[in-house]
Every structure is written in structure tokens, then in C-alpha cells.
Amino acid sequence: MITRKTLVLAALFSVAPIAHADMLSVCIEGSPDTFNPELTSSGTTAYVLGQIYDGLVSVKKGSSDIEPALAESWDISEDGLTYTFHLRHGVKWQSNADFSPTRDFNADDVMFTFQRMMDPGHPYAKVSGGIYITFDTKLADALASVEKIDDYTVAFKLKEPLAPFIGILAHGSLAMTSAEYADAMMKAGTPEAFDRDPIGTGPFELQAYQQDSMVRLLPFAQTWGAEQGIADRTPMVDTVVLAITPDASTRLQRALAGECQVALYPNLADRETIEEAPGIDAVATPVASSGFITFNFREKPFQDKRVRRALAEAIEIEPLVQSVYNGMGHVTGAVIPPALWGSATDIGPYPYDPEHARELLTEAGYPDGFETQIWAIPVARPYMPSGRRAAEMIQADWAKIGVEAEIVTYEWAEYLDRARAGEAPVGMFGGIYDFPDPSQIPNNYFTCNAEGQPSPSNIGAWCDDQFIETMNRAGRITDQQERATLYHQAQERLHEEVPAVILGGADAITAVSQQVKGYVPAIFGSTRLSGVTVE
């Protein structure tokens, strides 16, 4: 267990008096894979780290609007190439047994956060693996420099206009980290501790973590939201316990038994059970998400488009979506979901045609089929409520055309690591939009950088110049209609080349005790537990 120094709550609260209830317990679906937001794009991890860290900007609670966070305001140059951020004064850093800050958050922290990701020669560049998923995917090729103007002003200079830039900065994996803490850990010879024992500016700080069991958070009473009297940014409970419970049915049972006051992602089929249970509500949230399986282009069979098309046509997608999403999903062939502008509603799923699929396999040199693996995600997400069920249905469909698929799965953090290492022949993946711009999921999961290196979440390693250039063009202009046209073209290209089969997505439900007040599930990004009370 990683432990923080013992905190005396009375002394902690004396800094900024706040009325608190005792404890908020939340059943979450998996363990965080890191405690540094820059090193992950996992929504499971983001839910935890979103309580500890802050970004320069954020998505407004329960909204799709961007609001100031550690930056009070920003200016954009006429050519769209320079974004100047004016930082909030008086923002305190958390502390732990090994570090006590001597100064407030300032421009040096912004510089450190981005220089670590931008400069391969930076002392922290390779610490903890040095893979910065969101930055590498969304900003590495676009950001020319970050410059400190003064202690509370920072300028970001782009190589070319990037329409979703402010939205990208709202992504939880671009939260601010402490330069002073990093220096202290480097001098102590333990730089990995910087990523393992978090120091943020957010409303809660880590007290303890036990893998596959729980994360315990304590309120950080000096957090800037509390200091400035912002209710939604103020911790209102004495303790938050995030109970790690991978099985959706178990999460719900714990909620019904009163062990968890909030249970994330129960099975969609259990909505009626939640609605009929006393003292608990099923809170529905429209979520922009997309789930899919991807074919690994490192493996010979999947390099042939006829094989990929055959496997796509062998899946009877409508009953799969009906079953897996319990009637709450949407059948589509477009990677941008219908909840967002830019979705290609005219692109449907591949036609179910097992006879033609067998013909395509024969043409490709596999008349008797072949053996492969299909990986099933082990956690319930809006883009995939039941990975095992989806994998079983695909397995059965493929068997009809002679393709024998072994179902493989791992614990969530290991699944992510192995999939991103290219180990999955057919990987199941997906994403939830963290900010309201269509570029996020296509860029995260289906693009490569200028050197031809797949983005970390592009687990199939599909690098298509036409798709990438179309996505890049869409990011360089600001006219929404023109961008929508380009996103449509990009989705047509993806559908034509079949690097993946889109399975769908659905709205999420959360089981919330009626004792809990102020819990607003996020539409984009991660839900904040600040401002939440328990009666």
C-alpha cells in the first residue's frame, strides 16, 4: 500500500472552514494505472486523478462548455497561432511525507509540465516509461513552443492553427504538475515517486492506495476553489473511498446494500432494478463514446483488406448491439458518435453477409479460415458495457466462416499495457470524449505521427496517409461546417479500409444514493467529487 502522512482533520479544516459530512464511497470499475495524468488516457484512471489534479482549463460540470481553471483567462492571437494564458494567483500545492511546497503554483509548473513531454532530453522525459499518450497524439506535432512571459503568464505557440486547442487542454491528462516536487524527487534519487505519489492542486489528495482494492482520498482544504468560495470546486466530505470493483453486478449489489453511495457503470440491463430499489436513483447521462474492435496490421492476415472486410461482414451487428447495450445503443459504422456534430449518420454498419465473407477469405488465401485471438475488455464502459459478451457473439459469428477466435482478457491495467504494446491480434477498445470536439477519438485511436509512429492507443497500428491528412486538415480550420465535411470524408476512408469494426456506444447510468447531493455525472471528461455532499 502507498500511504500518505497522517493528516489531522481538525487542523486541516482550520485553514478554510467547510461544512462536511463523513464519507463518500464510490464503487469504480478498475485500478488506476498510474498517478500521473500525463502517462495515461484511461477513463478509469482519469476519474481518480481528476479529483487530485487541475488543468489550465476544464469542462464545466455537467456541460460541454469550457471554463477557466488554473488559468483565469486567455487571449488568442489574430492568426490563431499564439494562446496566452493568465494564471490564477494564490493556488496552493498539496504535500506529502516527502515533500512540502515552498511556493504557490506559477508559470514554472506549466513550463515543467509541458517541457517534460516536449523535450526528449528533459530529465523527466523517460521517467516511468515516458509515454505521454494525449500529448503525443494531439499536440506533439502541432505545438512549436511554450514560453514563460512572467510568473503568471504563459504563451503557447502553434506551428499552425489548431481549432480544438482549448478543448484539448481541458483533457485530464494535461493537468498541471509541480516543478518543485519534481526537482525534490530527482535530487532524492527517486524520480519515479513523482508519478507514484501524486501532488496536485485539486480538491482531494491521496491518503492511501491498495491495488485492486481501494483508493482513499482526503479533502485538500487549501485547494483554490475552497479558498475562493467556489462551491463546485470545494471538497464537502471528510473522506472519499473509491472501492475498486471490476464486476458490474457486484458494484450494483454493493450500492443496493449501502456499501457504496455511488456505483459507476452498472449493467444497463439492471436499470429497472435500480429504479425500483428504495433510496437509490438511476442517473442517466448522455455520453459521447465509441467502441470498436481493431485489426492488428502487424499480423499478416489483417494486412489484407479482404480479410478485414470478411470479418466485418461476418458479424451480425444489430443483435450484438441490441444485446450488449441492452437496447440503449446505436447501430452505426461511423466512429464519431451521433451525440457530437461531425458524426456521419449515413455511414451504416457493414452488411451481414457470411457467404460473401467466405468468398473474400478464399480470395485472400484462407479458404479454410484461420486461428486468431479476440481480446475482451474486462471493465464496463459506456462504449462497451460487456466486453466478454461482445467477444462471445463475435467469436460465434466468425466460427461460421471458419475463423476460430480465442477470447483473451487481462486485468484492466495489464490489458491496456499489452494492447498498447501491440500484442492483441484483434483488440477491443474504445473511448469517451473528454471535450466536445469530434477530433478526439479518431485522432487517439487511428492516427500516427509525422514519423509514422502509431499513437499509443492506435493498438492496431493502422497508419493511413489519406485518413491522417484529412484529420489534420480538419484540425487546422475553424469553420465548423468545413470541419464536419472533412470528418465525414475521414470516416468514409476508415469505413472503406476496415481497420476496425465500430460496435457502438450508449448513454451511461450511475446508481446514486438519494443521500448524495450534488453528484453530476460528466458528459465530457471526468466527474468531479468536489461540491458533493452526503446527508
- The pLDDT value given to residue 21: 54
The whole-number average pLDDT for the span 99-116 is: 98
Placement of cell 450500492 in the chain = 255
Domain count, the chain: 2
Tell me, what CATH number does 336's domain have? 3.10.105.10
DSSP H/E element including 169: helix 165-169
Q: Is the pLDDT assigned to residue 19 strictly greater than 80?
A: no
Q: How many CA atoms lie within 13 A of 189 on its CB side?
A: 0
Same domain, 243 and 319: no
Q: What is the per-residue DSSP string for 393-430?
A: HHHHHHHTTT-EEEEE---HHHHHHHHHTT--SEEEEE
Give domain status of residue 277, yes or no.
no
Give domain status of residue 282, yes or no.
no
Give domain status of residue 276, yes or no.
no
Q: Which residues pair with 154 in a beta bridge?
A: 85, 148
Percent of the chain with pLDDT over 90: 81
Q: In this predicted model, what pLDDT tens digit does every residue of 397-426 receive, in sequence order? A: 999 999 999 999 999 889 999 999 999 999
Q: Which residues pair with 291 in a beta bridge?
A: 430, 504
- The pLDDT value given to residue 15: 31
- The pLDDT value given to residue 84: 98
Same domain, 240 and 327: no
Q: Which residues pair with 66 in a beta bridge?
A: 59
Tell me, what CATH number does 58's domain have? 3.90.76.10
Q: In this predicted model, what pLDDT tens digit does every residue of 75-100 receive, in sequence order? A: 999 999 999 999 999 999 999 999 99
Give domain status of residue 268, yes or no.
no
Give domain status of residue 263, yes or no.
no
Same domain, 79 and 222: yes
Indicate the Cα dihedral angle 173, 177, 182, 185, nearest 10°.
-80
- The pLDDT value given to residue 284: 87
The whole-number average pLDDT for the span 371-376 is: 98
Q: Which residues pair with 371 in a beta bridge?
A: 404
Reduce the DSSP state of residue 156 to 3 states and report it.
Answer: strand
The whole-number average pLDDT for the span 210-233 is: 96
CA angle 282, 284, 289 (to 5 degrees): 135
Tell me how far apart the alpha carbons of residues 145 and 311 are, in angstroms, rounded to a whole number.
44
- The pLDDT value given to residue 306: 98
Q: Is the pLDDT assigned to residue 317 strictly greater than 60?
A: yes
Distances 77 to 43, 83, 161, 313, 479 between C-alpha atoms, Å: 33, 7, 10, 49, 17
Burial (CB count <10 Å: 0-12, 13-18, 19+), residue 485 = middle
Same domain, 496 and 526: no
CA angle 18, 2, 220 (to 5 degrees): 15
**Residues 33, 36, 37, 40: is their CA dihedral positive or negative?**
negative
DSSP H/E element including 87: strand 82-87
Q: Which residues pair with 209 in a beta bridge?
A: 2, 215
The stretches of 62-144 forming alpha helices (DSSP H) are 107-118, 133-138
Q: Is the pLDDT assigned to residue 18 strictly greater than 50?
A: no
Same domain, 220 and 345: no
Q: Which three cell numbers stand for residue 251?
A: 458494484
Q: Are 36 and 198 in contact (CB under 8 A)?
A: yes
Closest CA to 91 of 99, 103, 100, 81: 103
Distances 523 to 50, 207, 495, 527, 532 between C-alpha atoms, Å: 14, 28, 27, 8, 17
Q: How many CA atoms lie within 13 A of 513 on its CB side?
A: 22
Q: Which amino acid is at 365?
A: G
The whole-number average pLDDT for the span 158-174 is: 93
Same domain, 20 and 165: yes
Closest CA to 105 of 147, 145, 132, 69: 69
- The pLDDT value given to residue 251: 96
**Cβ atoms within 10 Å, residue 188:** 12
Q: Which residues pair with 240 in a beta bridge?
A: 24, 217
Tell me how far apart the alpha carbons of residues 38 and 493 are, in angstroms, rounded to a whole number.
30
Same domain, 209 and 71: yes
In the DSSP assignment, the letter for residue 171 is: S
Same domain, 241 and 305: no
Q: Which three cell numbers stand for residue 289?
A: 463514446
Placement of cell 506559477 in the chain = 106
Q: Are 514 and 280 in contact (CB under 8 A)?
A: yes
Tell me how far apart the alpha carbons of residues 78 and 272 are, in angstroms, rounded to a whole number.
53
In the DSSP assignment, the letter for residue 141 is: T
Give domain status of residue 175, yes or no.
yes
- The pLDDT value given to residue 507: 82
Q: Is the pLDDT assigned to residue 339 strictly greater than 90?
A: no
- The pLDDT value given to residue 456: 87
Q: Which residues pair with 24 in a beta bridge?
A: 240
- Of the pLDDT bands very low, low, confident and very high (cuts 50, 70, 90), residue 382 is confident
Distances 497 to 307, 350, 455 between C-alpha atoms, Å: 11, 12, 18
- Structural domain containing residue 108: 2-258+510-534
SS (HEC) of 226-290: HHCCCHHHCCCEEEEEEEECCCHHHHHHHHHCCCCCEECCCCHHHHHHHHHCCCEEEEEECCCEE
Closest CA to 370 of 330, 322, 426: 426
Tell me how far apart the alpha carbons of residues 344 and 340 are, in angstroms, rounded to a whole number.
10
- The pLDDT value given to residue 22: 87
Percent of the chain with pLDDT over 70: 96
Placement of cell 458533493 in the chain = 532
30 contact partners, CB below 8 Å, separation of at least 6: 42, 44, 244, 246, 378, 379, 411, 412, 413
Same domain, 295 and 439: yes
- Of the pLDDT bands very low, low, confident and very high (cuts 50, 70, 90), residue 9 is very low
- Of the pLDDT bands very low, low, confident and very high (cuts 50, 70, 90), residue 16 is very low
Q: Which amino acid is at 529?
A: L
Same domain, 518 and 427: no
Same domain, 391 and 520: no
Q: Which residues pair with 26 in a beta bridge?
A: 242, 262
Tell me how far apart the alpha carbons of residues 197 and 184 are, in angstroms, rounded to a whole number.
13
- The pLDDT value given to residue 17: 34
Closest CA to 154 of 72, 234, 230, 213: 72
Reduce the DSSP state of residue 146 to 3 states and report it.
Answer: strand
- The pLDDT value given to residue 3: 39
The whole-number average pLDDT for the span 199-208 is: 98
Give domain status of residue 319, yes or no.
yes
Same domain, 42 and 179: yes
The whole-number average pLDDT for the span 503-528 is: 91
Give domain status of residue 267, yes or no.
no
- Of the pLDDT bands very low, low, confident and very high (cuts 50, 70, 90), residue 430 is very high
| Mean pLDDT rounded to a whole number for the chain | 92
Tell me how far apart the alpha carbons of residues 510 and 54 are, in angstroms, rounded to a whole number.
24
- Of the pLDDT bands very low, low, confident and very high (cuts 50, 70, 90), residue 238 is very high
